[in-house]
Structure 1
């Protein structure tokens, strides 16, 4: 674990499980994630490799409805972005939220997801990067924090057919800094091969066709934020970004 006690690597988590130091909900969340990455043909090759090569970092945030949990996400993400380039070329931050004792609706999970991003934006320690558009309707836009553009994926229990986005115990957010993907963008041969593999696996893995909003960053027809927390149905989609971006 890092010196501030927020970020874990894989070996630290496994040691904490063996010694009984990891409390029950954290153990449950991590073991389910590890099982998905190791024992299935989970479609995202990069996420699987990050877990298998110990280049992922893990943050347990608490209840997503709790402001203290959101502030923990802010601090953990800030710490991760300070050091991610020293971890590996490809690295991922996985944020687990504590399961609730009652069932939650899809809308409740959606509200929590966007509240996380809104708090991060409102309490960003750095101004919005000058080389990234601040309008979410620009195809070159993506979410930024602490001066770093990043790709974000939300997973939640309401995804029964879209299994690549399903996790049984609560909200989960994974974050990849854009710099870790620069050399495999959609206009490179390696990037095109990787995306072809992911799309083929996605078709096999999910019980629903890939959502029409899934696309490559920078594609004029694509808006990256629409992919963050996909709708359950391919007939649905977000029409507007859920909050106003603060660029100061």
Structure 2
């Protein structure tokens, strides 16, 4: 289930207590005046974010919560959803990356909707977008394993922040000055330079899949999962 922060705080169940701890830490980090994303504080302060915890720390449970997120975004296009999971061996960037990739692979198998015909098949295409349950998703995977790239560490659990790609652009993604300001803040906040995979949707050198899970160093962007994992079944021929 997904809950607003105020609902989590009012619950006394065991699961809600852990979710509450994670929401509290997430809120603390996002409301830090130095946090790079200038758009992040508003939904936190307005209590519009939805939060969920995959208590079993399994990709299937995280995927089910993302299916619920798709329903919420379909009703409210600007809805942002945050999913947590306490993974075994927390702090292993490689394991956290693989868990993220496993979630995406599972979403592809679960999807009951056809992707728009205009959607490119190849994630290397700058116009490619990940569709799930009729929603054009953008994923931000942040983990405890990100040490130098602090902007991708939102607390002690694996964290997926998701929203519609189109709403992402509406809020500020198309504002060049805002992007420059955020990049400058990233340079101050992180112990490493802004990742080379970061870009603007539609630009010839931009690739969405590269941005979902950023490495902790300065290595060039690489797709989170293989191209074949993200192609559309039945449309490859």
TM-score by length of 1: 0.84
SS at 1:7's partner residue? Answer: coil
| Displacement after TM superposition at 1:241 (Å) | 4.0
Could you give the per-residue CA deviations for residues 40-73 of structure 1, whole angstroms, max 9, x where no partner exists? 4211122222212222111212233x25413422
Match of 1:48 among 41, 44, 54: 41
2:12 is the counterpart of 1:9: no
User: Any stretches of 5+ residues in structure 1 without a counterpart?
Assistant: 1-5
| 1:54–1:131 Cα change, 3 Å | farther
| Displacement after TM superposition at 1:178 (Å) | 1.9
Match of 1:216 in 2: 200
4+ residue segments displaced more than 4 Å: 19-22
Match of 1:28 in 2: 21
Deviates more, 1:218-227 or 1:167-176: 167-176
Distance 1:27 1:235 in 2: 35
Give runs of aligned pairs for residues 1-248 of structure 1, distance below 5 A: 6-16=1-11, 19=12, 23-64=16-57, 66-85=58-77, 90-100=78-88, 102-103=89-90, 105-183=92-170, 188=174, 191-238=175-222, 241-242=225-226, 243-247=229-233
Could you give the per-residue CA deviations for residues 152-207 of structure 1, whole angstroms, max 9, x where no partner exists? 11100111110000134221001120231343566x5xx11221221121111111
| 1:32–1:54 Cα change, 3 Å | same
The answer (yes or no) to whether the contact 2:172–2:178 under 8 Å persists in 1 is no
| 1:244–1:199 Cα change, 3 Å | closer
SS at 1:194's partner residue? Answer: helix
Distance 1:79 1:91 in 2: 10
User: Any stretches of 5+ residues in structure 2 without a counterpart?
Assistant: none
Alignment RMSD (CA, Å)? 2.3
Deviates more, 1:238-247 or 1:149-158: 238-247
TM-score by length of 2: 0.87
